[in-house]
Structure 1
């Protein structure tokens, strides 16, 4: 599950600069977060996983992701794109905003789920 967290989160956060989508993720990682096993990721499933991923990455449990915490998942350019206020930390609100934007971009047909 930890590998799935990092692959999935990195792909979504990286999409801020790399335009990666859910389609590029491995089926195994998607299945790990498809809570009801229907083959789709609902917004609720995505949000639950996103919350879990943030908490797992926030090693010092201070509510932000520093560059050292994010380094395994994001390069410096990607980190800077998510760090919207440029304080060298990704706050929970910055993370959530990016993840919501990425979900919206990946939900190409606007049906509230990723398929």
Structure 2
């Protein structure tokens, strides 16, 4: 389960340049994130899942993702696009900013949920 959860999170994160991927989660992936089982992914559900995924990826629990922690999921170009300050770490703030941007881009009608 942990590996599947991380794969979903990083599939979303890896889509930094293509936020449409967020809206194209398959049914089993959506069910894993859809806490209230209403068939939609709310911003709150997305944020809770994103926070959980970050904590799981942060193996050394230092509050940031180094390249080695992200390497199983992100290629170097994807990593660099999320590492906005170029310090070779994805901070929690950088991660949240990317995830928020991805959600907003995927929420085409602006209703605060993905379906």
Bucket of the pairwise TM-score, normalised by the shorter protein: over 0.9
Q: Higher mean Cα deviation, 5-14 or 101-110?
A: 5-14
1:59-79 superposed Cα distances (whole Å, 9 cap, x missing partner): 000000000000111000000
Deviation at 1:8, TM superposition (A): 2.0
Residue by residue, what CA displacement relative to the aligned partner does 1:68-112 show, whole Å, maximum 9, x if unpaired?
000111000000000000000000000000000000011111000
In structure 2, stretches of 5+ residues that fail to align are: none
Aligned to 1:103: 103
| Poorly superposed stretches of 4+, deviation over 6 Å | none
Q: 9-18 or 30-39: which moved more?
A: 9-18
SS at match of 1:21: helix
Bigger relative CO (Cα 8 Å, ≥ 6 apart): 2
Unaligned runs of 5+ in 1: none
Correspondence 1:31 to 2:13? no
Deviation string 1:45-68 (CA, Å, 9 cap, x unpaired) is 001000000000000000000000
TM-score (norm 2): 0.93
State the match for 1:63 in structure 2.
63
- CA drift at 1:22: 2.5
**How many residues end up aligned between the 2 structures?**
115
What is the alpha-carbon distance in structure 2 between the residues aligned to residue 6 and residue 59 of structure 1?
Answer: 12
Q: For residue 82 of structure 1, what is the aligned residue in structure 2?
A: 82
- RMSD between superposed Cα atoms in Å: 1.3
